[in-house]
Structure 1
Amino acid sequence: MAPARPGLLGYPSDNPTILAQQRKQLAAYVIQDVLEAAGRPIQINAGSVRMSVRWIHFDTEVRVSLSDAIYGRMFPRTMSGEFYHYTGVEAFKSIANEGSLRLYWLRKRMGQPIEGELVNLARLEGWHILEADIEAAYDDPKIQDSPGSNLFYASLTKVDGGGDLWSFGPVRLHLRVDTTGKMGQLREIQYHAPGGATLLGEINDALATKGLPPILPLSSYRMAANSVPAGFAGEAETRLLHLHFEGQPDERQRDSDNGFYWPIPINGCCAVADVTLLGVSVNSVANLARACKAIENSPLSSIEPICVPPTVNH
Protein backbone atom coordinates (compact mmCIF):
# COMPACT_ATOMS: atom_id res chain seq x y z
CA MET A 1 0.00 0.00 0.00
CA ALA A 2 1.43 3.35 -1.06
CA PRO A 3 2.09 5.82 1.75
CA ALA A 4 -0.35 8.70 2.12
CA ARG A 5 0.63 11.85 0.28
CA PRO A 6 1.51 14.85 2.44
CA GLY A 7 -1.58 16.35 3.99
CA LEU A 8 -3.71 13.21 3.51
CA LEU A 9 -2.54 11.05 6.42
CA GLY A 10 -5.62 9.53 8.06
CA TYR A 11 -7.96 10.66 5.28
CA PRO A 12 -10.88 10.91 5.69
CA SER A 13 -10.59 12.37 9.17
CA ASP A 14 -13.46 12.25 11.65
CA ASN A 15 -12.64 15.82 12.60
CA PRO A 16 -14.68 18.17 10.33
CA THR A 17 -12.02 20.88 10.39
CA ILE A 18 -9.22 18.49 9.48
CA LEU A 19 -11.42 16.79 6.86
CA ALA A 20 -12.13 20.13 5.17
CA GLN A 21 -8.40 20.79 4.89
CA GLN A 22 -7.77 17.27 3.61
CA ARG A 23 -10.39 17.70 0.89
CA LYS A 24 -8.70 20.89 -0.27
CA GLN A 25 -5.35 19.10 -0.39
CA LEU A 26 -6.87 16.15 -2.25
CA ALA A 27 -8.45 18.49 -4.80
CA ALA A 28 -5.08 20.17 -5.37
CA TYR A 29 -3.40 16.79 -5.97
CA VAL A 30 -6.13 15.58 -8.34
CA ILE A 31 -5.97 18.72 -10.48
CA GLN A 32 -2.15 18.77 -10.52
CA ASP A 33 -1.97 15.10 -11.54
CA VAL A 34 -4.31 15.51 -14.53
CA LEU A 35 -2.54 18.66 -15.72
CA GLU A 36 0.90 17.09 -15.35
CA ALA A 37 -0.20 14.07 -17.40
CA ALA A 38 -1.41 16.50 -20.08
CA GLY A 39 1.92 18.32 -20.13
CA ARG A 40 0.49 21.45 -18.47
CA PRO A 41 1.94 21.24 -14.93
CA ILE A 42 1.17 23.88 -12.32
CA GLN A 43 1.55 24.02 -8.54
CA ILE A 44 -1.52 24.40 -6.34
CA ASN A 45 -1.17 25.05 -2.62
CA ALA A 46 -4.06 23.67 -0.59
CA GLY A 47 -4.27 27.04 1.14
CA SER A 48 -5.35 28.61 -2.14
CA VAL A 49 -8.31 26.24 -2.54
CA ARG A 50 -11.82 27.41 -1.66
CA MET A 51 -14.50 24.73 -1.70
CA SER A 52 -18.29 25.00 -1.64
CA VAL A 53 -20.99 22.45 -2.28
CA ARG A 54 -21.28 23.64 -5.89
CA TRP A 55 -17.76 24.50 -6.99
CA ILE A 56 -14.07 24.54 -6.19
CA HIS A 57 -12.59 28.05 -6.34
CA PHE A 58 -9.05 29.39 -5.95
CA ASP A 59 -7.13 32.47 -4.94
CA THR A 60 -6.44 34.90 -7.77
CA GLU A 61 -2.92 33.77 -8.69
CA VAL A 62 -3.91 30.11 -8.94
CA ARG A 63 -7.12 30.98 -10.80
CA VAL A 64 -5.11 32.74 -13.51
CA SER A 65 -2.52 29.95 -13.79
CA LEU A 66 -5.20 27.27 -13.88
CA SER A 67 -7.23 29.07 -16.53
CA ASP A 68 -4.13 29.51 -18.70
CA ALA A 69 -3.16 25.85 -18.30
CA ILE A 70 -6.61 24.57 -19.27
CA TYR A 71 -8.01 27.09 -21.72
CA GLY A 72 -4.69 27.97 -23.33
CA ARG A 73 -4.79 24.51 -24.89
CA MET A 74 -8.54 24.18 -25.44
CA PHE A 75 -9.14 27.65 -26.86
CA PRO A 76 -5.86 29.15 -28.12
CA ARG A 77 -6.04 32.91 -28.47
CA THR A 78 -5.17 34.87 -31.61
CA MET A 79 -4.03 38.42 -30.92
CA SER A 80 -4.54 39.87 -34.40
CA GLY A 81 -5.15 38.98 -38.02
CA GLU A 82 -7.21 39.53 -41.15
CA PHE A 83 -10.75 38.21 -41.21
CA TYR A 84 -13.98 38.26 -43.18
CA HIS A 85 -17.27 39.31 -41.59
CA TYR A 86 -20.42 38.40 -43.53
CA THR A 87 -23.58 40.44 -43.06
CA GLY A 88 -26.83 41.48 -44.72
CA VAL A 89 -27.34 44.54 -46.88
CA GLU A 90 -29.49 46.34 -44.30
CA ALA A 91 -26.98 45.56 -41.56
CA PHE A 92 -24.21 46.84 -43.81
CA LYS A 93 -26.09 50.12 -44.21
CA SER A 94 -26.02 50.51 -40.41
CA ILE A 95 -22.32 49.61 -40.29
CA ALA A 96 -21.52 52.18 -42.98
CA ASN A 97 -23.68 54.96 -41.51
CA GLU A 98 -22.35 54.45 -37.98
CA GLY A 99 -18.80 53.65 -39.01
CA SER A 100 -18.77 50.81 -36.50
CA LEU A 101 -18.90 47.03 -36.26
CA ARG A 102 -21.59 45.71 -33.97
CA LEU A 103 -20.76 43.03 -31.43
CA TYR A 104 -24.04 41.23 -30.89
CA TRP A 105 -25.52 40.37 -27.52
CA LEU A 106 -24.98 36.69 -26.78
CA ARG A 107 -28.00 36.71 -24.46
CA LYS A 108 -30.25 37.12 -27.51
CA ARG A 109 -29.07 33.75 -28.80
CA MET A 110 -30.42 32.03 -25.71
CA GLY A 111 -33.62 31.56 -27.69
CA GLN A 112 -31.70 29.44 -30.23
CA PRO A 113 -30.46 26.50 -28.12
CA ILE A 114 -29.86 24.36 -31.21
CA GLU A 115 -26.56 26.18 -31.68
CA GLY A 116 -25.54 25.36 -28.12
CA GLU A 117 -24.53 28.85 -27.03
CA LEU A 118 -22.81 28.47 -23.63
CA VAL A 119 -24.60 25.21 -22.80
CA ASN A 120 -22.51 23.02 -25.13
CA LEU A 121 -19.38 23.34 -23.00
CA ALA A 122 -21.39 23.28 -19.76
CA ARG A 123 -22.73 19.84 -20.68
CA LEU A 124 -19.32 18.54 -21.71
CA GLU A 125 -17.69 19.71 -18.52
CA GLY A 126 -20.41 18.57 -16.14
CA TRP A 127 -21.33 22.08 -14.97
CA HIS A 128 -24.85 20.95 -14.12
CA ILE A 129 -25.77 24.04 -12.12
CA LEU A 130 -24.54 26.37 -14.86
CA GLU A 131 -26.37 24.23 -17.40
CA ALA A 132 -29.59 24.66 -15.40
CA ASP A 133 -29.10 28.44 -15.31
CA ILE A 134 -28.58 28.53 -19.07
CA GLU A 135 -31.61 26.37 -19.79
CA ALA A 136 -33.70 28.61 -17.55
CA ALA A 137 -32.55 31.54 -19.69
CA TYR A 138 -33.70 29.65 -22.78
CA ASP A 139 -37.17 29.28 -21.26
CA ASP A 140 -37.50 32.82 -19.92
CA PRO A 141 -35.74 35.56 -21.93
CA LYS A 142 -36.65 38.13 -19.26
CA ILE A 143 -34.40 36.65 -16.57
CA GLN A 144 -32.00 39.36 -15.42
CA ASP A 145 -28.23 38.82 -15.22
CA SER A 146 -28.48 35.41 -16.85
CA PRO A 147 -25.45 33.76 -18.48
CA GLY A 148 -24.57 35.66 -21.63
CA SER A 149 -25.99 39.00 -20.46
CA ASN A 150 -22.59 40.70 -20.51
CA LEU A 151 -21.10 38.90 -23.51
CA PHE A 152 -20.92 40.50 -26.96
CA TYR A 153 -19.45 38.97 -30.11
CA ALA A 154 -18.93 39.22 -33.86
CA SER A 155 -18.65 36.16 -36.10
CA LEU A 156 -15.56 36.19 -38.30
CA THR A 157 -13.70 33.74 -40.48
CA LYS A 158 -10.04 33.78 -41.46
CA VAL A 159 -9.14 35.23 -44.85
CA ASP A 160 -6.79 32.29 -45.39
CA GLY A 161 -8.30 28.92 -44.58
CA GLY A 162 -11.57 30.14 -43.13
CA GLY A 163 -15.08 29.04 -44.02
CA ASP A 164 -17.06 30.27 -47.03
CA LEU A 165 -19.96 31.86 -45.15
CA TRP A 166 -21.97 33.62 -47.84
CA SER A 167 -25.03 32.00 -46.26
CA PHE A 168 -24.48 34.41 -43.35
CA GLY A 169 -25.11 37.37 -45.66
CA PRO A 170 -24.45 38.77 -49.16
CA VAL A 171 -21.96 41.42 -47.99
CA ARG A 172 -18.44 40.49 -46.87
CA LEU A 173 -16.22 42.90 -44.97
CA HIS A 174 -12.46 42.34 -45.10
CA LEU A 175 -11.19 43.44 -41.69
CA ARG A 176 -7.92 43.67 -39.84
CA VAL A 177 -8.59 43.05 -36.15
CA ASP A 178 -6.04 43.65 -33.39
CA THR A 179 -6.75 42.79 -29.75
CA THR A 180 -3.21 43.28 -28.45
CA GLY A 181 -3.51 45.00 -25.07
CA LYS A 182 -7.29 45.18 -25.47
CA MET A 183 -10.30 43.82 -23.57
CA GLY A 184 -11.61 41.85 -26.55
CA GLN A 185 -10.41 38.36 -27.42
CA LEU A 186 -10.09 36.55 -30.74
CA ARG A 187 -10.45 32.78 -30.56
CA GLU A 188 -11.34 30.10 -33.06
CA ILE A 189 -14.64 28.42 -32.30
CA GLN A 190 -14.16 24.85 -31.08
CA TYR A 191 -16.66 22.29 -32.32
CA HIS A 192 -17.24 19.80 -29.52
CA ALA A 193 -19.32 16.68 -30.08
CA PRO A 194 -21.55 15.34 -27.27
CA GLY A 195 -19.54 13.10 -24.99
CA GLY A 196 -16.25 14.45 -26.30
CA ALA A 197 -13.31 14.56 -23.92
CA THR A 198 -11.70 17.85 -22.91
CA LEU A 199 -8.91 18.60 -20.48
CA LEU A 200 -11.30 20.33 -18.10
CA GLY A 201 -13.70 17.41 -18.40
CA GLU A 202 -10.90 15.03 -17.41
CA ILE A 203 -10.18 17.15 -14.33
CA ASN A 204 -13.81 17.29 -13.26
CA ASP A 205 -14.27 13.56 -13.86
CA ALA A 206 -11.24 12.86 -11.68
CA LEU A 207 -12.59 15.17 -8.96
CA ALA A 208 -15.99 13.48 -9.10
CA THR A 209 -14.45 10.04 -8.51
CA LYS A 210 -13.07 11.43 -5.25
CA GLY A 211 -16.42 12.87 -4.22
CA LEU A 212 -15.31 16.45 -4.89
CA PRO A 213 -17.21 19.22 -6.72
CA PRO A 214 -16.08 20.46 -10.15
CA ILE A 215 -13.91 23.46 -10.87
CA LEU A 216 -15.11 26.45 -12.87
CA PRO A 217 -11.92 28.19 -13.99
CA LEU A 218 -11.51 31.89 -14.58
CA SER A 219 -13.01 32.96 -17.93
CA SER A 220 -15.29 29.91 -18.13
CA TYR A 221 -18.30 31.90 -19.35
CA ARG A 222 -16.13 33.52 -22.00
CA MET A 223 -14.67 30.18 -23.10
CA ALA A 224 -18.11 28.56 -23.19
CA ALA A 225 -19.10 31.18 -25.77
CA ASN A 226 -16.45 29.67 -28.05
CA SER A 227 -17.83 26.13 -28.03
CA VAL A 228 -20.65 24.96 -30.30
CA PRO A 229 -21.82 21.51 -31.45
CA ALA A 230 -19.70 19.61 -33.96
CA GLY A 231 -22.40 19.88 -36.63
CA PHE A 232 -21.35 23.49 -37.27
CA ALA A 233 -17.68 22.68 -37.87
CA GLY A 234 -17.91 23.63 -41.55
CA GLU A 235 -18.29 27.28 -40.57
CA ALA A 236 -14.67 27.49 -39.33
CA GLU A 237 -15.70 30.52 -37.30
CA THR A 238 -13.49 32.84 -35.28
CA ARG A 239 -15.15 35.07 -32.70
CA LEU A 240 -14.27 38.52 -31.51
CA LEU A 241 -15.68 38.37 -28.00
CA HIS A 242 -16.00 41.03 -25.33
CA LEU A 243 -17.00 40.34 -21.73
CA HIS A 244 -18.15 43.46 -19.93
CA PHE A 245 -17.25 43.52 -16.24
CA GLU A 246 -19.20 45.45 -13.64
CA GLY A 247 -17.57 48.80 -12.90
CA GLN A 248 -16.14 49.25 -16.39
CA PRO A 249 -17.56 51.80 -18.85
CA ASP A 250 -20.72 50.32 -20.35
CA GLU A 251 -21.01 51.30 -24.02
CA ARG A 252 -23.75 48.87 -25.05
CA GLN A 253 -26.52 50.30 -27.20
CA ARG A 254 -30.16 49.32 -27.64
CA ASP A 255 -31.10 47.71 -30.94
CA SER A 256 -34.44 47.54 -32.73
CA ASP A 257 -35.26 44.13 -31.23
CA ASN A 258 -35.11 45.37 -27.63
CA GLY A 259 -31.72 43.79 -27.18
CA PHE A 260 -28.22 45.26 -27.07
CA TYR A 261 -25.09 45.52 -29.16
CA TRP A 262 -21.60 46.85 -28.50
CA PRO A 263 -20.25 49.23 -31.18
CA ILE A 264 -16.60 48.95 -32.23
CA PRO A 265 -15.41 51.94 -34.28
CA ILE A 266 -14.03 50.98 -37.69
CA ASN A 267 -10.70 52.61 -38.59
CA GLY A 268 -10.45 53.90 -35.04
CA CYS A 269 -9.30 52.82 -31.59
CA CYS A 270 -11.24 51.59 -28.57
CA ALA A 271 -10.71 49.52 -25.44
CA VAL A 272 -12.12 46.31 -26.96
CA ALA A 273 -10.25 45.99 -30.29
CA ASP A 274 -8.80 48.00 -33.14
CA VAL A 275 -10.73 47.23 -36.33
CA THR A 276 -9.67 48.42 -39.79
CA LEU A 277 -11.77 47.98 -42.94
CA LEU A 278 -9.65 46.74 -45.86
CA GLY A 279 -12.36 45.97 -48.39
CA VAL A 280 -16.01 45.15 -49.10
CA SER A 281 -17.24 42.34 -51.37
CA VAL A 282 -20.76 41.33 -52.37
CA ASN A 283 -22.13 38.18 -53.98
CA SER A 284 -24.14 39.63 -56.89
CA VAL A 285 -24.39 42.61 -59.21
CA ALA A 286 -27.73 43.59 -57.66
CA ASN A 287 -26.21 43.65 -54.19
CA LEU A 288 -23.20 45.55 -55.50
CA ALA A 289 -25.44 48.48 -56.44
CA ARG A 290 -27.09 48.39 -53.03
CA ALA A 291 -23.77 48.22 -51.20
CA CYS A 292 -22.33 51.12 -53.20
CA LYS A 293 -25.37 53.21 -52.36
CA ALA A 294 -25.11 52.28 -48.66
CA ILE A 295 -21.46 53.27 -48.36
CA GLU A 296 -21.76 56.49 -50.37
CA ASN A 297 -21.17 59.61 -48.23
CA SER A 298 -20.65 57.41 -45.15
CA PRO A 299 -17.59 57.32 -42.84
CA LEU A 300 -16.44 54.30 -44.88
CA SER A 301 -16.83 55.89 -48.32
CA SER A 302 -13.12 55.55 -49.14
CA ILE A 303 -13.74 51.82 -49.75
CA GLU A 304 -15.22 50.76 -53.10
CA PRO A 305 -17.27 47.53 -52.93
CA ILE A 306 -16.56 44.82 -55.52
CA CYS A 307 -18.55 41.81 -56.72
CA VAL A 308 -17.13 38.37 -55.91
CA PRO A 309 -19.24 35.38 -57.04
CA PRO A 310 -19.56 32.97 -54.08
CA THR A 311 -18.56 30.02 -56.26
CA VAL A 312 -15.04 31.44 -56.47
CA ASN A 313 -12.76 30.41 -53.61
CA HIS A 314 -11.39 33.60 -52.00
Structure 2
Amino acid sequence: MTVDPEKLTVSPDCIHETSGSRDLSEHVCDAMYPHEPGGEFFHYTGRDAFKGIAANGVLWLAHLLKRIKEDEISTHADQHGYTGYTDPTKKTAYVNTLAKDLFYTSVTPIGAPNDGPMWGAFAEGGAGVRLRLRIEVDRDRQNGELRKIRYLVAGEKTLLNRINDDLSAAGFPEFLPWTTSKIGAFCLPKAIYGGEYEVRLLYKFHPDVVPHAQKDPRDLRENSGTFEYWKLPLNKDNDIASVTLLGIEAGPNADMAEIRSILARSGFSGVNLTRAP
Protein backbone atom coordinates (compact mmCIF):
# COMPACT_ATOMS: atom_id res chain seq x y z
CA MET A 1 0.00 0.00 0.00
CA THR A 2 1.00 3.64 -0.35
CA VAL A 3 1.46 5.49 2.93
CA ASP A 4 0.27 9.10 3.02
CA PRO A 5 2.84 11.01 5.15
CA GLU A 6 0.25 13.72 5.78
CA LYS A 7 -1.69 11.19 7.85
CA LEU A 8 1.22 10.34 10.15
CA THR A 9 2.20 12.04 13.38
CA VAL A 10 5.83 11.70 14.49
CA SER A 11 6.60 12.29 18.17
CA PRO A 12 9.75 11.51 20.16
CA ASP A 13 8.08 8.34 21.47
CA CYS A 14 6.32 6.87 18.43
CA ILE A 15 4.84 7.31 14.97
CA HIS A 16 1.08 6.91 14.72
CA GLU A 17 -1.68 7.74 12.29
CA THR A 18 -3.72 10.86 12.83
CA SER A 19 -7.20 10.52 14.29
CA GLY A 20 -9.59 9.08 11.74
CA SER A 21 -6.76 7.64 9.61
CA ARG A 22 -6.31 3.91 10.19
CA ASP A 23 -5.48 2.42 6.79
CA LEU A 24 -1.85 1.66 7.60
CA SER A 25 -2.69 0.32 11.06
CA GLU A 26 -5.33 -2.01 9.66
CA HIS A 27 -3.04 -3.15 6.85
CA VAL A 28 -0.23 -4.07 9.26
CA CYS A 29 -2.50 -5.73 11.84
CA ASP A 30 -4.43 -7.66 9.18
CA ALA A 31 -1.16 -8.93 7.70
CA MET A 32 -0.03 -10.22 11.09
CA TYR A 33 -3.42 -11.55 12.19
CA PRO A 34 -5.52 -12.16 9.05
CA HIS A 35 -9.29 -12.15 9.14
CA GLU A 36 -10.66 -15.66 8.80
CA PRO A 37 -13.18 -16.09 5.97
CA GLY A 38 -16.62 -17.21 7.08
CA GLY A 39 -17.16 -20.93 7.24
CA GLU A 40 -17.95 -23.91 9.43
CA PHE A 41 -16.36 -24.49 12.83
CA PHE A 42 -16.72 -26.63 15.94
CA HIS A 43 -17.43 -25.19 19.39
CA TYR A 44 -16.80 -27.65 22.25
CA THR A 45 -18.82 -27.30 25.43
CA GLY A 46 -19.95 -29.17 28.54
CA ARG A 47 -23.49 -30.26 29.34
CA ASP A 48 -24.42 -27.39 31.66
CA ALA A 49 -23.27 -24.79 29.15
CA PHE A 50 -25.10 -26.68 26.41
CA LYS A 51 -28.29 -26.57 28.48
CA GLY A 52 -27.99 -22.78 28.63
CA ILE A 53 -27.29 -22.48 24.91
CA ALA A 54 -30.23 -24.74 24.07
CA ALA A 55 -32.65 -23.05 26.48
CA ASN A 56 -31.85 -19.47 25.44
CA GLY A 57 -30.65 -19.76 21.86
CA VAL A 58 -27.49 -17.78 22.56
CA LEU A 59 -23.75 -18.26 22.80
CA TRP A 60 -21.92 -16.53 25.59
CA LEU A 61 -18.99 -14.36 24.56
CA ALA A 62 -16.84 -14.61 27.68
CA HIS A 63 -15.01 -11.64 29.14
CA LEU A 64 -11.34 -11.84 28.15
CA LEU A 65 -10.48 -11.06 31.78
CA LYS A 66 -11.52 -14.64 32.47
CA ARG A 67 -8.25 -15.73 30.82
CA ILE A 68 -6.06 -12.68 31.34
CA LYS A 69 -3.47 -14.65 33.35
CA GLU A 70 -3.04 -17.09 30.44
CA ASP A 71 -0.71 -14.88 28.37
CA GLU A 72 -3.58 -12.88 26.85
CA ILE A 73 -2.57 -9.49 25.36
CA SER A 74 0.81 -9.62 27.13
CA THR A 75 2.24 -12.00 24.46
CA HIS A 76 1.70 -9.40 21.73
CA ALA A 77 2.85 -6.62 24.05
CA ASP A 78 6.06 -8.39 25.04
CA GLN A 79 6.78 -9.25 21.40
CA HIS A 80 6.66 -5.59 20.40
CA GLY A 81 8.28 -4.02 23.43
CA TYR A 82 5.22 -2.32 24.90
CA THR A 83 6.76 -1.88 28.31
CA GLY A 84 3.82 0.22 29.46
CA TYR A 85 1.75 -2.98 29.25
CA THR A 86 4.33 -5.27 30.77
CA ASP A 87 6.10 -3.23 33.47
CA PRO A 88 5.88 -5.64 36.44
CA THR A 89 4.82 -2.79 38.72
CA LYS A 90 1.64 -2.13 36.72
CA LYS A 91 1.24 -5.02 34.30
CA THR A 92 -1.75 -6.69 35.89
CA ALA A 93 -3.76 -3.51 36.34
CA TYR A 94 -3.12 -2.14 32.86
CA VAL A 95 -3.63 -5.42 31.02
CA ASN A 96 -6.94 -5.72 32.87
CA THR A 97 -7.85 -2.23 31.67
CA LEU A 98 -7.12 -3.19 28.06
CA ALA A 99 -9.23 -6.35 28.34
CA LYS A 100 -12.20 -4.92 30.22
CA ASP A 101 -14.35 -4.40 27.10
CA LEU A 102 -13.25 -7.47 25.11
CA PHE A 103 -15.52 -10.50 24.77
CA TYR A 104 -14.80 -13.71 22.84
CA THR A 105 -15.69 -17.27 22.03
CA SER A 106 -13.36 -19.94 20.72
CA VAL A 107 -13.96 -22.35 17.86
CA THR A 108 -11.80 -24.77 15.88
CA PRO A 109 -11.75 -25.48 12.15
CA ILE A 110 -13.58 -28.57 10.96
CA GLY A 111 -10.97 -31.28 10.56
CA ALA A 112 -8.48 -29.88 13.08
CA PRO A 113 -6.37 -32.84 14.28
CA ASN A 114 -6.64 -32.08 18.02
CA ASP A 115 -10.22 -33.18 18.68
CA GLY A 116 -9.12 -35.55 21.47
CA PRO A 117 -7.58 -32.81 23.63
CA MET A 118 -10.51 -30.50 22.83
CA TRP A 119 -13.02 -33.03 24.15
CA GLY A 120 -10.88 -33.47 27.22
CA ALA A 121 -10.30 -29.79 27.99
CA PHE A 122 -13.61 -28.19 27.02
CA ALA A 123 -16.33 -30.86 26.86
CA GLU A 124 -16.03 -32.86 30.07
CA GLY A 125 -13.72 -35.50 28.68
CA GLY A 126 -16.15 -36.30 25.86
CA ALA A 127 -19.32 -36.27 27.99
CA GLY A 128 -20.35 -32.93 26.48
CA VAL A 129 -21.05 -31.88 22.91
CA ARG A 130 -19.57 -29.94 20.06
CA LEU A 131 -21.70 -27.55 18.06
CA ARG A 132 -21.21 -27.31 14.32
CA LEU A 133 -21.54 -23.61 13.52
CA ARG A 134 -21.43 -21.47 10.44
CA ILE A 135 -19.91 -18.10 11.32
CA GLU A 136 -19.94 -15.08 9.02
CA VAL A 137 -18.89 -11.50 9.77
CA ASP A 138 -20.07 -8.74 7.45
CA ARG A 139 -17.36 -6.19 8.12
CA ASP A 140 -19.45 -3.38 6.62
CA ARG A 141 -22.15 -3.66 9.28
CA GLN A 142 -21.08 -6.14 11.98
CA ASN A 143 -18.54 -5.39 14.69
CA GLY A 144 -17.16 -8.82 15.49
CA GLU A 145 -13.75 -10.01 14.31
CA LEU A 146 -13.04 -13.59 13.31
CA ARG A 147 -9.30 -14.36 13.23
CA LYS A 148 -7.03 -17.33 13.84
CA ILE A 149 -4.86 -17.19 16.91
CA ARG A 150 -1.23 -16.65 15.93
CA TYR A 151 1.08 -18.85 17.98
CA LEU A 152 4.38 -16.98 18.23
CA VAL A 153 7.63 -18.90 18.10
CA ALA A 154 10.45 -17.69 20.35
CA GLY A 155 12.74 -15.41 18.34
CA GLU A 156 10.21 -14.92 15.53
CA LYS A 157 9.76 -11.41 14.11
CA THR A 158 6.37 -10.12 13.04
CA LEU A 159 5.80 -7.63 10.24
CA LEU A 160 5.56 -4.88 12.83
CA ASN A 161 8.89 -5.96 14.34
CA ARG A 162 10.55 -5.72 10.92
CA ILE A 163 9.01 -2.30 10.19
CA ASN A 164 10.20 -0.98 13.53
CA ASP A 165 13.68 -2.45 13.06
CA ASP A 166 13.96 -0.48 9.81
CA LEU A 167 12.61 2.68 11.41
CA SER A 168 15.08 2.36 14.28
CA ALA A 169 17.97 1.85 11.86
CA ALA A 170 16.94 5.08 10.13
CA GLY A 171 16.82 6.99 13.41
CA PHE A 172 13.03 7.10 13.78
CA PRO A 173 10.80 6.05 16.68
CA GLU A 174 8.62 2.98 16.31
CA PHE A 175 5.27 2.82 14.54
CA LEU A 176 2.36 2.22 16.94
CA PRO A 177 -0.78 1.03 15.12
CA TRP A 178 -4.29 1.86 16.16
CA THR A 179 -6.20 -1.06 17.78
CA THR A 180 -2.97 -2.37 19.33
CA SER A 181 -4.73 -3.42 22.53
CA LYS A 182 -7.50 -5.30 20.71
CA ILE A 183 -5.29 -7.03 18.16
CA GLY A 184 -3.22 -8.48 21.01
CA ALA A 185 -6.15 -10.76 21.80
CA PHE A 186 -5.19 -12.89 18.76
CA CYS A 187 -1.67 -13.81 19.88
CA LEU A 188 -0.39 -16.57 22.20
CA PRO A 189 3.01 -18.24 22.70
CA LYS A 190 3.54 -21.40 20.66
CA ALA A 191 5.63 -22.96 23.41
CA ILE A 192 2.56 -23.18 25.64
CA TYR A 193 -0.44 -23.30 23.28
CA GLY A 194 1.08 -24.61 20.05
CA GLY A 195 -1.06 -27.75 20.05
CA GLU A 196 -4.25 -25.71 19.66
CA TYR A 197 -5.95 -24.53 16.47
CA GLU A 198 -8.08 -21.78 17.94
CA VAL A 199 -10.08 -19.37 15.83
CA ARG A 200 -11.46 -16.57 17.95
CA LEU A 201 -14.62 -14.53 17.45
CA LEU A 202 -13.96 -11.28 19.30
CA TYR A 203 -16.18 -8.31 20.07
CA LYS A 204 -14.94 -5.05 21.54
CA PHE A 205 -17.51 -2.80 23.16
CA HIS A 206 -16.68 0.88 22.79
CA PRO A 207 -18.20 2.76 25.74
CA ASP A 208 -19.75 6.15 25.09
CA VAL A 209 -17.12 8.84 25.55
CA VAL A 210 -19.70 11.05 27.27
CA PRO A 211 -19.53 10.41 31.04
CA HIS A 212 -22.57 8.66 32.43
CA ALA A 213 -23.80 8.66 35.98
CA GLN A 214 -24.78 5.03 35.36
CA LYS A 215 -23.73 2.29 32.93
CA ASP A 216 -23.78 3.09 29.22
CA PRO A 217 -27.23 1.86 28.11
CA ARG A 218 -25.63 0.14 25.10
CA ASP A 219 -23.51 -1.97 27.43
CA LEU A 220 -25.34 -5.33 27.45
CA ARG A 221 -22.79 -7.36 29.37
CA GLU A 222 -24.14 -9.65 32.05
CA ASN A 223 -22.54 -11.31 35.05
CA SER A 224 -22.68 -15.05 35.69
CA GLY A 225 -21.43 -14.59 39.24
CA THR A 226 -17.99 -15.78 38.12
CA PHE A 227 -17.28 -13.69 35.03
CA GLU A 228 -18.94 -11.22 32.71
CA TYR A 229 -20.26 -12.23 29.29
CA TRP A 230 -22.10 -10.86 26.27
CA LYS A 231 -24.97 -12.76 24.66
CA LEU A 232 -24.68 -13.58 20.95
CA PRO A 233 -27.95 -14.88 19.46
CA LEU A 234 -27.82 -17.98 17.28
CA ASN A 235 -29.69 -18.12 13.96
CA LYS A 236 -30.63 -14.42 14.24
CA ASP A 237 -29.27 -11.30 12.62
CA ASN A 238 -27.30 -9.05 14.97
CA ASP A 239 -24.54 -6.44 14.89
CA ILE A 240 -21.68 -8.73 16.04
CA ALA A 241 -21.66 -11.79 13.76
CA SER A 242 -24.03 -14.19 12.02
CA VAL A 243 -23.80 -17.56 13.76
CA THR A 244 -25.94 -20.45 12.53
CA LEU A 245 -26.26 -23.77 14.35
CA LEU A 246 -25.90 -26.51 11.72
CA GLY A 247 -25.64 -29.61 13.87
CA ILE A 248 -24.81 -31.07 17.28
CA GLU A 249 -22.37 -33.91 17.89
CA ALA A 250 -22.51 -35.69 21.22
CA GLY A 251 -19.11 -36.57 22.63
CA PRO A 252 -17.77 -40.13 22.59
CA ASN A 253 -18.61 -40.51 26.30
CA ALA A 254 -21.89 -38.58 26.26
CA ASP A 255 -25.24 -39.98 27.38
CA MET A 256 -27.25 -39.70 24.14
CA ALA A 257 -30.57 -39.85 25.98
CA GLU A 258 -29.55 -36.89 28.14
CA ILE A 259 -28.41 -34.85 25.12
CA ARG A 260 -31.65 -35.67 23.26
CA SER A 261 -33.67 -34.57 26.29
CA ILE A 262 -31.85 -31.21 26.43
CA LEU A 263 -32.33 -30.73 22.71
CA ALA A 264 -36.04 -31.63 22.85
CA ARG A 265 -36.69 -28.78 25.27
CA SER A 266 -34.90 -26.23 23.10
CA GLY A 267 -35.69 -24.21 20.02
CA PHE A 268 -33.24 -26.40 18.12
CA SER A 269 -35.31 -29.58 18.04
CA GLY A 270 -35.00 -29.72 14.24
CA VAL A 271 -31.20 -29.65 14.35
CA ASN A 272 -29.49 -32.93 13.52
CA LEU A 273 -27.94 -34.76 16.50
CA THR A 274 -25.22 -37.34 15.87
CA ARG A 275 -22.48 -39.10 17.84
CA ALA A 276 -19.00 -37.75 17.18
CA PRO A 277 -16.61 -40.32 15.75
Where do residues 122-201 of structure 1 align in structure 2 (5 Å cutoff)?
122-132=77-87, 136=90, 138=92, 146-161=97-112, 163-164=114-115, 165-167=118-120, 168-169=122-123, 170-180=128-138, 181-201=141-161
Q: 1:308 to 1:201 in 2, by over 3 A?
A: same
Instruction: Find the counterpart in structure 1 of residue 211 from structure 2.
Output: none
Aligned counterpart, 1:214: 174
Selected match of 1:107 from 42, 46, 65: 65
> Judging changes above 3 Å, is the alpha-carbon distance between structure 1 residues 79 and 244 closer, same or farther for their aligned structure 2 residues?
farther
Counting matched residue pairs gives 259
Compare relative contact order (CA 8 Å, sep 6+) and give the higher one, 1 or 2. Answer: 2
- 2:212 aligns with none
| Counterparts in 2 of 1:178 and 1:51: CA distance versus 1, 3 Å | same
Unaligned runs of 5+ in 2: 209-215
In the other structure, the counterpart of 2:204 is 243
After TM superposition, give the deviation of residue 296 of structure 1 in Å.
2.3
CA distance in 2, matches of 1:183, 1:166: 30
TM-score, length-scaled by structure 1: 0.75
Of all paired residues, the percent bearing the same amino acid is 32
TM-score, normalised by the number of residues in structure 2 = 0.84
Could you report, residue by residue, the CA deviation over 1:70-116 in whole angstroms, capped at 9, with x for unpaired residues?
12221111241111001111111111111101111102211x33xx2
Pair 1:73-2:34 in alignment: no
Shift of the 266–124 alpha-carbon distance from structure 1 to 2, 3 Å rule, reads same
Q: Distance in 1 between matches of 2:87 and 2:159?
A: 22
Distance 1:244 1:117 in 2: 18
Structure 1 counterpart of 2:221: 252
Sort the Cα spacing of 1:85 and 1:130 in 2 relative to 1 into closer, same or farther, 3 A: same
How far apart, in 2, do the equivalents of 1:144 and 1:131 lie? Answer: 8
Q: Whose helix proportion is higher, 1 or 2?
A: 1
**Which of residues 57, 75, 88 is equivalent to 2:46?**
88
Alignment RMSD: 2.4
SS in 1 for 2:207: coil
Structure possessing the higher radius of gyration over alpha carbons: 1
1:137/1:81 Cα in 2 relative to 1: closer, same or farther (>3 Å)?
same
Q: CA deviation at 1:186?
A: 0.8
